């Protein structure tokens, strides 16, 4: 877009958020980085605007693509660079490319011998995290690396599985870390100095251990999220690892010292179950109790927890039929939206009222989406189906409908959330397609003309 077309550049958010997520706003479009899983605010929401509202009859234009090895984690995009984390042979591989052209800038790899005990592939299940000119990756074997974003050179690393005595996991280790200030926080599900620990905080510059959150619940496959609750910076964790009997639930941890402020059990009774869907802040008004929503799909379903100002926790409401597999639910208009269901044939888009917990509606939206991911933009909500279909959808407390849809490819297990940055949409095809195309990351042009 030519500079002459920009009439003004305005800041649309607080300076802290602007710095953290690299937002750039203009009269015609608003752009943002996508530096970690689930976007700039960790909630599948981006301020991007100026997006293509009607899909071309010939399909969405692909700008570039790259082959993918094994892995389910999505990309991270910041400062014109895209970082991808996947497995090639016996090596876990981090690749940095130009986000607009796909041109390779650097590659970092390390040996990661691993054989899954329960199937599900050998690749990493986490996404890279970009912060302060660094890249953090946490692999399926428990190796944590900090790399220089510009060069790809290793700054520090930890063999967390060995150093922290991490407990066994169903499908390897798969909780994406988060960065809060000077600390990177990782669910490890470990034993440190004889005490059970759910997560640790390490210095982003040196890798030094700052704190360990003491709790017996193991590491899940859900990513922690940051939150400001009642004047304190907190880490919100949906825990639950491989244990008999199955244990896990919502943890609220003080980001400064790792103290567990609240713990609410939520886990299916069967041992072979996992907590995968990341938690979301359903409401957090100053001076009022906060509400946090978590969900699992194996029987327990959804749970909305209220956190009082003294951090006492209580169940606000539960929804056993609102079971979400891996997707992060979307919070908007006082409601929680997500595709619920353990199998693709029975998945439906469901809406619950945050205040009352009442199910307002459920709809399969004409089928075909399966257990889909939702992504909210300033221009509307995108829906990525698990077989490669993309749609604009309209959702509100009154109902949902498809505005437009297009087929990107025909392949199963399109489970990785879409990433959107500077008008470019990045989609992972995780399995071979019916046309013979191998797994790949595809960059589509979603900019309005």
Comparing CA positions, the residue from 269, 396, 279 lying closest to residue 328 is: 279
- The whole-number pLDDT of residue 27 equals 58
Angstrom distance (rounded) from CA 210 to CA 257: 8
Q: What is the CATH number of the domain that holds 200?
A: 2.130.10.10
Contacts of 154 (CB under 8 A, 6+ apart): 108, 145, 146, 147, 148
How many other C-beta atoms are found inside a 10 Å radius of the C-beta of residue 90? 12
- Measured CA to CA, the distance from residue 220 to residue 115 in angstroms comes to 19
The three-state secondary structure class of 4 is: helix
Name the E strands within 161-300.
178-180, 183-192, 195-203, 209-214, 225-229, 232-239, 249-254, 260-265, 280-283, 290-296
| Sequence-distant contacts of 306-313: CB under 8 A, at least 24 apart | 307/229, 307/230, 307/252, 307/262, 309/230, 311/229, 311/230, 311/252, 311/261, 311/262, 312/262, 313/250, 313/252, 313/262, 313/263, 313/264
Task: Extract the tokens encoding 147.
Answer: 């790399």
Q: Contact 148/130 with Cβ under 8 angstroms?
A: no
Give the DSSP per-residue string, 141-168. TSEEEEEETTT--EEEEEEHHHHTTPPP
- Which value, in Å, is the radius of gyration of the alpha carbons in the chain? 20
Q: For the chain of 449 residues, list the mean pLDDT of each consecutive stretch of 10.
A: 32 36 59 98 98 96 98 97 97 98 98 86 95 98 98 98 95 97 98 96 98 98 97 98 95 98 96 95 94 97 98 98 97 97 93 98 89 98 97 98 97 97 98 96 95
- C-alpha span between 294 and 307 (Å, rounded): 13
SS3 181: coil
Q: Report residue 357 as tokens.
A: 């917990």
Please give the model's pTM, rounded to 2 decimal places.
Answer: 0.93
- Whole-angstrom distance, CA of residue 83 vs CA of residue 75: 6
Q: Is 17 helix (H, G, I), strand (E, B) or coil?
A: helix
The per-residue pLDDT for 368 is 83
Looking up tokens 């009997």, which residue turns up?
Answer: 245
Q: What are phi and psi of 395, to 5 degrees?
A: -130, 140
Range of the domain at 214: 3-445
Closest CA to 256 of 320, 308, 326, 182: 182
Q: For position 265, what pLDDT does the model report?
A: 98
Q: How many domains does the chain have?
A: 1
DSSP secondary structure code for residue 448 in this structure = -
């Amino acid at each position: 877009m030519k500079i002459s077309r920009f009439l003004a550049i305005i800041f649309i958010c607080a300076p802290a958020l602007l710095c953290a997520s690299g937002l750039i706003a203009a009269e015609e479009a608003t752009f943002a980085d996508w530096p970690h899983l689930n976007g700039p605010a960790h909630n599948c929401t981006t301020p991007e605007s100026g997006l293509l509202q009607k899909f071309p009859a010939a399909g969405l234009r692909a700008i570039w693509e790259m082959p993918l090895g094994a892995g389910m984690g999505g990309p991270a995009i910041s400062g014109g660079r895209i970082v991808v984390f996947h497995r090639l042979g016996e090596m876990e591989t981090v690749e940095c490319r130009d986000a607009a052209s796909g041109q390779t800038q650097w590659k970092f790899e390390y040996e990661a011998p691993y054989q899954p005990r329960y199937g599900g592939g050998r690749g990493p299940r986490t996404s890279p995290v970009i912060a302060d000119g660094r890249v953090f990756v946490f692999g399926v074997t428990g190796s944590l690396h900090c790399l220089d974003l510009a060069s790809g050179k290793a700054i520090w690393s930890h063999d967390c599985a060995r150093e922290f005595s991490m407990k066994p996991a169903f499908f390897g280790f798969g909780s994406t870390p988060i960065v809060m200030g000077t600390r990177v926080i990782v669910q490890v599900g470990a034993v440190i100095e004889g005490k059970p620990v759910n997560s640790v905080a390490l210095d982003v510059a040196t890798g030094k251990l700052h704190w360990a959150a003491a709790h017996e619940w193991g590491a899940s496959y859900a990513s922690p999220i940051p939150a400001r609750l009642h004047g304190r910076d907190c880490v919100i964790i949906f825990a639950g690892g491989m244990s008999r009997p199955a244990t896990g639930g919502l943890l609220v941890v003080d980001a400064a010292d790792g103290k567990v402020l609240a713990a609410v059990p939520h886990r299916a009774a069967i041992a072979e179950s996992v907590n995968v869907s990341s938690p979301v802040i359903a409401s957090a008004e100053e001076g009022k109790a906060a509400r946090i929503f978590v969900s699992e799909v194996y029987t327990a379903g959804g749970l909305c927890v209220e956190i009082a100002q003294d951090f006492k926790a209580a169940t606000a409401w539960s929804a056993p039929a609102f079971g979400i597999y891996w997707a992060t639910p979307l919070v908007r208009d006082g409601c929680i939206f997500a595709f619920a269901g353990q199998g693709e044939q029975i998945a439906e888009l469901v809406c619950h009222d945050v205040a009352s917990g009442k199910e307002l509606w459920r709809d399969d939206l004409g089928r075909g989406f399966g257990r889909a991911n939702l992504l909210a933009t300033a221009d509307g909500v995108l829906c990525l189906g698990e077989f490669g279909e993309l749609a604009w959808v309209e959702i509100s407390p009154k109902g949902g409908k498809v505005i437009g849809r297009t087929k990107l490819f025909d392949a199963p297990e399109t489970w990785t959330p879409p990433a959107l940055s500077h008008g470019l949409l990045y989609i992972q095809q995780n399995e071979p397609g019916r046309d013979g195309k191998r797994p790949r990351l595809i960059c589509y042009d979603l900019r309005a003309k």
